[in-house]
Structure formats: C-alpha cells, structure tokens
C-alpha cells in the first residue's frame, strides 16, 4: 500500500513537473524543437508574435 | 598621386574558383542531383553509420534504467501504476530519446553544410523552380527555415508582400520535413528499411515535389497573376565549416529535443497509456480485450478511414492523431501502444515477444509503413504550426482551405504509395482500393470545382469589363 502511494507520488511529481515546465515555457516563449535558431539568444524563435525569425528572413534578402 | 589612389583593380570580370564551383553546384539542372547526393550522404552518416553507434549506448542505458526501476518497485506494486511508470513514462519517453544521437549527428552535419555556404546555393537552385509555379522569390527562405521547424518557417512568410504568395507559402512550408519529423523518419527507415538513407532523402524530395504541385494548384484555383518579386542574396564564400559552431548548434537543438521529450511527449504518453489501460466504464482493460479501451474507442473510427492507406489498426490511428500535438508523439505513442521501449535494437524485442518481425507486431508491410510515414509527414503539421499559419494567413478561409489541402495531400500520397506499392510487390491491390479511390476522387473533385468556379468568375468579370 505504502509502495503504491510512493509510486503515485513519483508519477504525480513527474507529470506536474512536465506540465509546469510546459506552462512556464509557454509563458516565456520556449524555443521550438529543431528550430535552427533555438537557443541562440536574441535570434531564437520564441512564439508567433516574436519578430526575430522575420528579421532573420529579411536579413537574408 | 591622384592617379595612383584612383587606380582600382576590378576583378568582377575574372572568374574565381568560387565562381567556377557555383557554376556546377548552383547549376539549375546539376544542382538538384548534387543536393540529392549531399542529403543522401548526410542521412547515410547520421542514420546508418555514426548515429546508430551512439544510439546503441544510449538505448542500453535507458534499458538499464528501466530494469533498475522495475527491480526497485518489486512485485507488490499495482500493475496499473507499474505499467504507467515503466511503459507509459519511461518506455514512451525512452523510445523517443533513443533517436537523439541520430538527430544530433544529423543536426551537426546540417550545421556544417550551412556554415560551409552550401545551403545558400541550395536556396538559389530551388528558387528558380518556386518562382515558375507562382511563388515569391522570397518563398525559399521560409522553406529552408521550415526544415528546422515549421513554426519559424511559417512566421518567415510575413516578409512576402503579395497576399496570395504569402498565404500559399505559409500553407506549403509545413510540408518540408522539420526536426520533429526526423525521429519518425528514423524510426520507419530503421525498422522497415534497414536504416536505408534513401528513405530520408526521398522524403525531402517528395516534399519539394508536393510544394511545387501544390503551388501550381493554388495558382490555378486563385487564378491571380503573380506579383513579380526577386530573390536577391549575396552568396557567402565557400569556407571550411567551423566544428565549434556546428557543435553549439547541435547541442542547442538537442537540448530543445530533450525538453520536448520530457514535457509534451511525456504528458501525451502518460495520457495515452491511461486511455489504453481503462475502458469507458473506468475498469482496467482485460488482457486480450485491448479493443475495449478508451483509446481504441476514440481511434477506431479514424482507423476505419485509413484502411485504404494500408494502416487500419486503431493503434496506428491513435499515434497519427497524437502526432498533431507534436510529431515526435507518433514514435512515443507507437512505443506505448505496442509496448516497445526500444526501436533501435528491435531484434531483442522480437526475441522477447516471439514475433517474426516488428512489422508483424505492428501489422504493417514495408509498403504500408512507407505510406504511414508519408501520411504522418504530409498531413497538417502540429497545432502550434497551424497556429502560426493562422497568424500569417490572416484569413479563416485560407486557413481551413490550407488544412483541408494538407489532409488531402497526405491522404492521396499515402493511398497511391500503398495501393501502387502493393500492386507492384504482390500483384494485387491492397484492401479498400475502391473506397479509397472514391475518397481521392472526392478530393480531386473539390479542387477541379474550385478551379472551374474561379475560371467562370473570371470570364464573367472579363465580359463585364468588355
């Protein structure tokens, strides 16, 4: 019984941690997986309203 | 003195070594097979030679961790909880993480290519074809960015001033295989085609072909003249790529991949596992009665529509649906629903499960697997990318037409791959050939109707003008 409770707690912590990271990332505008500009500071593509990708594209023309 | 100061060496009429290389690499005809060869080598190194070496180690560690946690829990733990933690969370996330080394090697090689100046030449080669089918000269930039991630790719379309060209580019950019689709490609290339590099290469070229055909169709439907636009880019000099820059790029993308696996993929796998464990009356599903689960109940109606494409199993339909949340989910959900924690060393799984092949476990032939892969790659992208399409298209009609077009393309491509492939390999058509053909004819009929309607409108406008 106690083991089951511990497992439930562990699963709850893992799931809550993943959800919290997802929510905080969304608020901050987390980088997209595989994005060529992910993690590149000002150039990173954070969200739809972020202009850096637009600027990058313009910079190439 | 003035004469000496004003003397300039004008070298523009001299052909340098760089120019000579460009005449071949950026050649309008030769550029295409060269690009195919380069992508083939990149996939060959990342998925056949170097990537799997590292993947074996990583998968070994994930398996050891799985066994360690299993041993730690003992036999007293509830099977539902134990299965949720082991198969749903560790197994599902582990299956996606197993592809990390392959993806890292691929990203490293692509970063080297970009740094060497080669990718700029690819943009020049492709630009010629895109302009001919009514797209903007600037359309190539979103598509190149879209190979990393469709979201910034779609966002980059806002530099295109002409509405039709911008919306068409936003609609077609997600067809390029993005970073999230690479594990799906790696999975099917590895499990069904012995890590054949041609699978990944072919997906890029099928995407380009779809983009060109799609642009032609949209041009015919809208019946609008294209605004002339030019793609002016200063080609960077060829140079030896920086290993340091490529390494940094690879690490940053790998970090983003790990974060996605530990968040959205983990949550989806946990939910999918719970839905697979319980029936609609919240009873645990009896062994052998998996069809009664909540997941099977939701996915089965969709699976019925997929029979003509060769993958009418509810498990495959569930994975495809989960792919709309994030494309890596296809791998994670397949791992959960088939209880496969390791897609890299499938031989071990086959020995344990007693199946002849992983293909038997999934109930897929190689042709059906290729159709399933294409269906996942060429149907609409993840919801986040659809959100970006909505923002850039700025038109509900265009957005829904775009999503409909993407579904139509994915369905049609998968149908022809499966039915023609099955005919070629077995001599007979696959299951559901007639219903599938009716579906494809319906899609074609809608397109023809839209083209004719606009032709008719144009004629009336012309008569009124005269």
In the DSSP assignment, the letter for residue B286 is P
Instruction: Name the nearest CA neighbour of B248 among B46, B111, B110, B101.
Output: B111
Model confidence at A44: pLDDT above 50:
no
Task: Determine if residue B230 is left, alpha or beta; phi over 0 gives left, psi from -120 to 50 gives alpha, anything else beta.
Answer: beta
Model confidence at A59: pLDDT above 60:
no
Q: Give the pLDDT band (50/70/90) at residue B459.
A: confident
Contacts of B180 in chain A (CB under 8 A): 33-34
Interface residue A6 vs chain B (CB under 8 A):
no
Q: Which residue of A has its CA nearest to B230?
A: A61
Convert the pLDDT of each residue in B260-290 to its tens digit: 899 989 999 999 999 999 999 989 998 888 8
Question: 86-125 in B: which are within 8 Å (CB) of A?
Answer: 89, 103, 107, 114
3-state secondary structure labels for all residues of A1-61: CHHHHHHHHHHHHHHHHHHHHHHHHHHHCCCCCCCCCCCCHHHCCCCCCCCHHHHHHHHCC
Instruction: Name the nearest CA neighbour of A18 among B269, B318, B444, B201.
Output: B269
Tell me if A48 and B387 make a contact (CB, 8 A cut-off): yes
Lowest-pLDDT choice from A2-11, B228-237, B261-270, B354-363: B354-363
Over pLDDT 90: what percentage of chain B?
A: 45
A27: distance to nearest CA of chain B, Å?
A: 14
In angstroms, the CA B373 to CA B353 distance is 24
What is this structure's pTM?
Answer: 0.83
Contacts of B149 in chain A (CB under 8 A): 32-36, 38, 45
Of residues B89, B151, B159, nearest to A45 (C-beta): B151
Convert the pLDDT of each residue in B162-182 to its tens digit: 888 899 999 999 999 988 898
Of residues A32, A48, A61, nearest to B256 (C-beta): A32
Question: 20-59 in B: which are within 8 Å (CB) of A?
Answer: none
What's the distance, CA B395 to chain centroid? 25
Interface residue B80 vs chain A (CB under 8 A):
no
Packed helices B17-25 and B31-43: angle between N→C axes, nearest 10 degrees: 90
Interface residue A43 vs chain B (CB under 8 A):
no
Model confidence at B231: pLDDT above 80:
no
What's the distance, CA B352 to chain centroid? 31
In the DSSP assignment, the letter for residue B291 is G
Convert the pLDDT of each residue in B173-214 to its tens digit: 999 998 889 889 988 888 888 878 899 899 999 999 999 999
Residue B349: what pLDDT? 56
Instruction: Name, in order, each residue with C-beta under 8 angstroms of A39's C-beta and a sequence gap of 6 or more.
Output: A31, B252, B253, B255, B256
Please give the structure tokens belonging to residue A56: 């990058």
Contacts of A19 in chain B (CB under 8 A): 263, 267
Which of A14, A28, A36 best probes binding to B when mutated, by most B CB atoms within 10 angstroms? A36
Of residues B85, B141, B253, nearest to A57 (C-beta): B141
Tell me if A36 and B259 make a contact (CB, 8 A cut-off): no
Instruction: Name the nearest CA neighbour of B172 among B195, B188, B156, B161.
Output: B156
Indicate whether this complex's ipTM tops 0.90: no
């Amino acid at each position: 019984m106690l083991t089951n409770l511990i497992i439930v707690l562990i699963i709850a912590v893992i799931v809550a941690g993943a959800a919290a990271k997802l929510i905080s990332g969304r608020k901050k505008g987390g980088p997209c997986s595989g994005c060529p500009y992910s993690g590149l500071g000002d150039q990173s593509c954070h969200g739809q309203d972020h202009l850096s990708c637009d600027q990058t594209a313009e910079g190439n023309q | 003195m003035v004469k000496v100061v004003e003397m300039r060496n004008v070298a523009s009429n001299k052909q340098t070594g760089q120019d000579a290389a460009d005449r071949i690499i950026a050649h309008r005809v030769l550029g295409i097979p060269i690009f195919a060869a380069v992508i083939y080598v990149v996939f060959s190194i990342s998925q056949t030679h170097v990537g799997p070496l590292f993947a074996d180690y990583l998968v070994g560690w994930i398996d050891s961790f799985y066994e360690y946690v299993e041993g730690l829990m003992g036999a007293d733990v509830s099977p539902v909880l134990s299965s949720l933690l082991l198969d749903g969370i560790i197994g599902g996330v582990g299956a996606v993480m197993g592809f990390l080394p392959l993806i890292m090697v691929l990203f490293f090689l692509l970063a080297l290519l970009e740094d060497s100046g080669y990718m700029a030449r690819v943009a020049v080669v492709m630009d010629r074809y895109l302009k001919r089918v009514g797209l903007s000269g600037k359309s190539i930039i979103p598509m190149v960015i879209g190979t990393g991630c469709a979201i910034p790719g779609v966002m980059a379309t806002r530099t295109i001033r002409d509405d039709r060209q911008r919306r068409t580019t936003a609609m077609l950019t997600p067809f390029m295989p993005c970073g999230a689709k690479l594990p799906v490609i790696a999975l099917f290339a590895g499990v069904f085609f012995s890590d054949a590099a041609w699978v990944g290469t072919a997906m890029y070229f099928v995407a380009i072909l779809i983009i060109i055909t799609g642009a032609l169709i949209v041009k015919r439907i809208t019946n609008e003249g294209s605004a002339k636009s030019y793609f002016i880019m200063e080609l960077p000099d060829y140079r030896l790529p920086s290993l340091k820059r490529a390494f940094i790029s690879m690490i940053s993308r790998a970090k983003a991949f790990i974060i996605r696996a530990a968040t959205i993929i983990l949550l989806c796998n946990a939910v999918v596992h719970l839905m697979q464990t319980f029936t609609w009356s919240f009873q645990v599903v009896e062994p052998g009665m998996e069809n009664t689960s909540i997941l099977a109940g939701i996915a089965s109606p969709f699976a019925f529509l997929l029979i003509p494409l060769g993958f009418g199993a509810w498990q495959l339909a569930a994975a495809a649906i989960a792919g709309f949340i994030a494309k890596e989910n296809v791998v994670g959900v397949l791992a959960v629903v088939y209880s496969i924690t390791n897609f890299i060393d499938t031989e071990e799984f086959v020995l344990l499960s007693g199946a002849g092949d992983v293909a038997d476990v999934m109930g897929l032939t190689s042709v059906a697997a290729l159709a399933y892969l294409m269906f996942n790659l060429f149907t609409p992208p993840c919801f986040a990318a659809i959100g970006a399409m909505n923002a850039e298209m700025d038109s509900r009609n265009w957005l829904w037409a775009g999503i409909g077009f993407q579904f139509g393309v994915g369905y049609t491509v998968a149908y022809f791959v499966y039915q023609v492939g099955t005919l070629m390999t077995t001599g007979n058509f696959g299951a559901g050939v007639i219903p599938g053909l009716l579906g494809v004819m319906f899609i074609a009929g809608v397109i023809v109707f839209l083209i004719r309607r606009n032709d008719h409108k144009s004629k009336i406008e012309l008569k009124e003008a005269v």
